[in-house]
Structure 1
Amino acid sequence: MNSNHPAKGSIISVNPIMDLKAIGTIKKILADNPRDSALFVVGINTALRASELLALTVGQVRPLTPGDTLAVREGKTGKERRITLNKAAHDAIQKLLATMPDAEGAAPLFLSRKGDGALTVPTLNNMVKIWCTKINLPGNYGSHTLRKTFGYHQRVTFNTDLPTLVKVFGHATEAQTLHYLCIQADEVKAAFMQNL
C-alpha cells in the first residue's frame, strides 16, 4: 500500500509540492536520470497536464530555445494552447535530447523504459508518488502534482496575479484556481482569523 494514497472512499485530490527545498531534493534525486529529471522539471515549469506533457515529441522541442513558444493541443478541450519555455525546462530537455541523438521528430520525448512508445499517465502518476515518498513528503501526490506545483509557486513564491493564473489554467473563476492550487484566499483566511 502506497503511503501517499488516500483511504478508500475519501475524496481523491493531489497536492502541489509546496516546499521549495523538497523540489530541490527531488531534482537532486533525479539528476542522473535525464528522462525523469526532464519530466519533473518540464512538468513543474509549464503547467501542462500529464497527458499533454507525455504527448510532446522530439520534433516539437528540439529547435526551441528559452523564451520560445511551444504550441500544444489541450487533451481536455482540444484547443491549441501556447506556453513559453523557460531556461530550466529548456536545459532539462536538452540534457534528455543529448541521450537520444538519433530520435526522429515524431518520436515521443518521454519514452517508456521498454522504448516502445510514450510513457503513460498511470506510469507518471506512480513515478511522482515514488519521488515524493522517497523524500518523506506528507500528503497525496500524483501526475497532476506537477501542474499544481507550477501554479502554487507562481502564486505564492512569485506573486503572479490571479487573473493571469486563471488564464494559464483555463479556469472559469479565481475561486476555482485557488481551490485547484490548494490556496485559501487571503480574504477568507482573514475572516477565519477574526476573534469574536
Structure 2
Amino acid sequence: MKNLNHPKKGSHISVEPIRRQKDIKLIKKFLQDSPRNLCLFILGINTNLRASDLLKIKVEQVRHLQPGEEITLKEKKTQKQRRINLNRACIEAIQNLLKSIKYEDDDFLFLSNRKDKNALTVSSLSTLVKKWCKDINLKGNYASHTLRKTWGYHQRVTFGVGIPELMVCFNHTSQKQTLDYLCVQPEEIKSVYQNEL
C-alpha cells in the first residue's frame, strides 16, 4: 500500500530546526511528565545523532555514564563507528528515565509503548516531534530529523561553532551542504546586507 505522506521519488521535503530557545523550553516543560519522551527530546537536541541511531541506543551503553563521557555506536547510514560525548542534560534525562521503569541492560533505551521490548520507530518519533511542535503552536515542517537539525542550528547560531567544525560533525562534503542543512544561510546572507559602512 502506498504511503500518501511520503514524498514522491526525487522530491525533497526539508524539515526545520526549532530555532527559538523559548520553544525548546516549552517542549521540555510540556514533556516533564513523560520521562521517555523528555529524554528522547533532550538527547536528540544535544547530540547530532540521526533518529535511526538514537533509537538503537541500549541501556547498557548509557546506564553508568557520567557527564562528559562518551558512547560508541555504529551509524546505520554510514556503517562508521561514532563516538558521542553526552553532556549533563543528557545524563540527567537518562537517569530520570532509568528510574521511571525497570530496564534490563540489553533493552533499548527508547522502547515503543508496546510490551514487546521493541525500540520506538523513526516514523513514530516523527509523529511525536510533530505533535510536540503542534502542542506549543509552532508553525512549520517538523519531524524526527528536526532534533538533529536543532542541535546543529544552535551550535552555529547560539554557540558560534564554525561551519568547518560542524561540517566534520555532520560528515558533510562541503560547507554549503552544512549551511543548507542548518537552515541558516538565508538568514546570514540577509544579515550581510544590514551591515552599514
Structure-2-length-normalised TM-score: 0.89
Q: Offset at 1:12? A: 1.1
Q: Which amino acid aligns with 2:111?
A: L
Offset from partner CA, 1:103-156 (integer Å, 9 cap, x none): 221110000111311100000000000000011101100000000000000000
**Retained in 2: the 8 A contact 1:6–1:140?**
no
1:151 matched residue in structure 2: 152
1:90 and 2:91 are equivalent in the alignment = yes
Taking only the aligned residue pairs, the percentage that are identical comes to 52
Offset from partner CA, 1:53-112 (integer Å, 9 cap, x none): 0000000110111000111111110000111100001100110011233x2211100001
Partner SS state of residue 140, structure 1: coil
1:122 and 2:123 are equivalent in the alignment = yes
1:62 matched residue in structure 2: 63
Mapping for residues 95-106 of structure 1, pairs under 5 Å = 95-101=96-102, 103-106=103-106
1:112 matched residue in structure 2: 112
1:182 and 2:183 are equivalent in the alignment = yes
Offset from partner CA, 1:7-34 (integer Å, 9 cap, x none): 9897411000001000000000000100
Cα separation, partners in 2 of 1:6 and 1:152, compared to 1, 3 Å: farther
Residue correspondences, number: 190
2:72 matched residue in structure 1: 71
Q: Offset at 1:186? A: 7.4
Offset from partner CA, 1:141-192 (integer Å, 9 cap, x none): 0000000000000000000111111111111111111100101177743666
1:30 matched residue in structure 2: 31
Query: Any gaps of 5 or more consecutive residues in structure 1?
Result: none
Partner SS state of residue 98, structure 1: helix
Mapped partners of 1:6, 1:74: distance in 2: 23
Q: Which amino acid aligns with 1:165?
A: L
Structure-1-length-normalised TM-score: 0.90
Mapped partners of 1:30, 1:133: distance in 2: 13
Cα separation, partners in 2 of 1:106 and 1:140, compared to 1, 3 Å: same
Mapped partners of 1:96, 1:164: distance in 2: 31
Query: Any gaps of 5 or more consecutive residues in structure 2?
Result: none
Q: Which amino acid aligns with 2:106?
A: A
**Retained in 2: the 8 A contact 1:54–1:109?**
yes
